[in-house]
Amino acid sequence: MQLPDVNASSQVYEKHTDHFRGAAEGWSDAETLTTAQRAAIVEAAAVVSVAADALAGAVVTESASRRSATKLRARYGIRDIILDMRIMGVSDAILNGPAMRSRNNPVYKHVFQEGSAGEITEAKLREEPELADRILERLAGVEEFPGKAAAQAGLAEALQKSLIARDALDEAEMAENKAGDAEIQARLAVRAALEKAYGMLRTAFPGQRKLVESFFLRRERAAKKAAGGSGGAGDED
């Protein structure tokens, strides 16, 4: 009896459980079996089916959470672009106002203490909102000048939306990680179910190794039957 590799994908595990279920269906009306033997097969198949169905559900959940996180990652990236634009807008407003086109002006240096606007917009994606918040706070303390209110309002709105998008992404990534872990556990449960079913079948069919092994996908079977088109699902890539 060969089990799927521990590190194999869920698709490989599904091949093994599909094979087991197919074998159970194949033996269900076999005239060579007794009623008790058929019942034993049904019982073993139920053990595998429960684990297989749980894995199928975990795969769906993982896929949905991964796709959701991908979308929210893109949305947060868009918010970062807009936040960059608003930070540059504050820089332009100050340079065109009190700084008189000089980044060495005290007003500009006070607002942009962490570096120029260009340097700040190159900050790490997740760190930029905090830098923008500091800029906004220091900008509020600067004396009024033409363009300040619009630049301040634009940055405040962009910052708020960036923070909301980042929080949503954090939540989605946590869900993605949780779903990934659950899928791994579901695979391990399938391995355990296949092992249990193997033991049940060995007990129900003592000395009938070929019959018992027919429930389990084997690479040897795939190689042997390749020319006939059967068993090709045994590859565990």
Residues 129 and 213: their CA atoms lie apart, in Å, by: 59
Q: Kindly provide the residue ranges of all beta strands, DSSP E only, lying in 74-231, ordered along the sequence.
A: none
The helix/strand/coil state of 1 is coil
Nearest residue to 136 (alpha-carbon basis) of 158, 113, 152 = 152
Taking residue 76's Cβ as centre, other Cβ atoms within 10 Å add up to 22
What b/e readout covers 5-35, taking b as 16+ CB neighbours within 10 angstroms? eeebebebbbbbbebbeebbeebeeeeebee
101: left (phi over 0), alpha (psi -120 to 50) or beta: left
Over residues 11-67, the pLDDT tens digits come to 999 999 999 999 999 999 999 999 999 999 999 999 999 999 999 999 999 999 999
Q: Which of 166, 139, 141 is nearest to 155 (CA)?
A: 139
For the chain, what are the domain ranges? 10-225
CA distances (Å), 64 to each of 56, 60, 127, 176, in order?
13, 6, 27, 8
- Compute the Cα dihedral for 12, 17, 20, 24 and give only its sign: negative
Tell me the H-state helices in the chain.
10-28, 35-95, 106-111, 117-120, 128-140, 148-204, 209-213, 219-225
Write down the pTM of the prediction.
0.84
Which two structure tokens, joined as six digits, stand for 72? 């929210």
Distance CA 83, CA 92 (A): 14
pLDDT at residue 218 in the model: 87
Token reading at 67: 């796709």
Q: How many other CB atoms sit within 10 Å of the CB of residue 204?
A: 20
The pLDDT value recorded for residue 205 is: 97
**φ/ψ of residue 103, rounded to 5:** -75, -10
Assign 139 to helix, strand or coil.
Answer: helix
- In DSSP notation, 106-137 reads HHHHHH-TTS-HHHHTTS-TTTHHHHHHHHHH
Specify the residue for token string 């009623």.
35
At residue 230, the pLDDT reads 44
Query: What does each of the 237 residues of the chain score in pLDDT, given as a tens digit?
Result: 999 999 999 999 999 999 999 999 999 999 999 999 999 999 999 999 999 999 999 999 999 999 999 999 999 999 999 999 999 999 999 999 999 999 999 999 999 999 999 999 999 999 999 999 999 999 999 999 999 999 999 999 999 999 999 999 999 999 999 999 999 999 999 999 999 999 999 999 999 999 999 999 986 544 455 545 444 434 444
